[in-house]
Structure 1
């Protein structure tokens, strides 16, 4: 992602951030494993930048409303005045009469990605991301990748992956540039909720709270977030883990598990924490093998670059799996995503009115849905049912680099 210095200053002129004090009350965020027992879904609804209704957005609103009604969940919807018209028109239908929901109006349009800008804490506080200098944030994350990814690519491909990140693995920094954090903060205050600030730069999809095999709370943190925060405050990784542990009430830094990005800008696009110390990590080995064979058969820039990208993804998946295993987490490797076709890693565990667990995720090809549901229900036995979004809306959403798990966030 090419981006010049906005203020014309050189790198050395960028002021480092000063570490603020803890204000979260050292409370654990809502768990994203089945034990989180989420009964509330927070989502943001927005029209296009030109104020037009977007079919993908209204389709997801319908999907979440229908699912919430069936499972007895409550929807908390953040939107602006213009976009509210769509919500009222949709949810005033007779079929949603029993749906419990609340609409909060924002002053500005909000990002559709409700997952990434906020954490709901056990003590009732709403923790939002601290705002950082955009330029510093980009440089920090890029330099972290440069250090970690040496040797995984040729030097030429590495420089391209860092310079043109949007064509390889995008930097996970889009929340900082949006107005959503400010709107989420304002909405929480208007509802009488106490707002706190997450001192590390961790977008929601890059942090997965759950528990180990003994039931002890752990938080998986993407290494992009660790490296970026270390660079910003001029600390080492161990100090960053201490900061995160302090913010979220973890007794030891071992409960903050640093995990390489699994070939994705956020952890929740390439791994699924199913609870009890078990994490499913993507396995692109067969896809890489096919790409290498294709590059050998039809040698050209396109096939060679595809093979290079898949090699990086596979090596990062391997590194992520190793990080988890070294931390005592059981890893299961499964191919559960394919570009814009499907992604079952990205979803939300909820508890239905029957007291049983369900998993809401992106729709995909029917045979892939059936295979995944069989794993979740019969083999891993973590949910009663998997609920898939409409495939057309899901694939369009994935093209925009986000899915169901990015659009909603479970709450207490």
Structure 2
């Protein structure tokens, strides 16, 4: 560790709500992108002999989280059937034993400025999927107004339209083709939860190690001189919601750590830091070009480590579970960066991310490996 670097006290390492937000947004994106192919097929059945086109509302530039937090107000999908187009709002639930099925007021209705009454949106439909019994409902906002009442939803901490369970289940239709789609959603959510563990692990490690009094001016000025220190400084700054001075210089220097000698552990630290620094600055042309090239290099390295059994191997000194966790964590952030670069910088260097974890080539094997390894480590 760089002796010149002064770190924060353990009490200053806060919970990283931003990462939790991103994790929640990623879960929604997993479902939305997996459902998209099924939705196209289902609309073809519902509207036979008509030309169907369905896409995410933002097309290839779809973002599943906003760098500054919050949620987008764009609808989830846009559909065109022959010459008629409409939006589709998507919701899903894991189980059926709910007293009410809730819908955000803004997605169902808007107030008439003259009368003050809420009127249903005419430009959209609602798709609701119930995961545990592979059923769905496709309906107009008007149905919600007729069958629901506005009430307070504790989980949302705000009012919403609430449909009683006995009314809602009557419009659900079973669909066996949803089974494989929902299984993939569950697989990817399991991997997402697994790869998120290092955040808590590192927070515990740093909270235990960091006992010195914080000097924020020094920590944001001094560029660390090795990868381990770089990671620790960025992690601390991230949790303190601080940014270093000369961010772009930090980023360019950090990118120089990427090489074919990296292990999955190295890459997970580098990419975490890149993601953190990237989110705090605007890139100039040469910096953007360098970042794009290095992101490509990271993808190639991870692909070279990937095995057909779903594992990743980069070093004899790393355990299989750590290798795999490092790799999926890195892929997760690289896909975020890829889509972000497409959206904000209009780069044409990447194919858009159309499925979360699309760069895991043996995802079912990876999932089974993680489950088996996790069980082994838990028992031992």
Q: Tell me the TM-score normalized by structure 1.
A: 0.23
RCO higher in 1 or 2 (8 Å CA, sep ≥ 6)? Answer: 1
Higher strand share: 1
Larger of the two Rg values belongs to structure: 2
Q: Tell me the TM-score normalized by structure 2.
A: 0.24
Higher helix share: 2
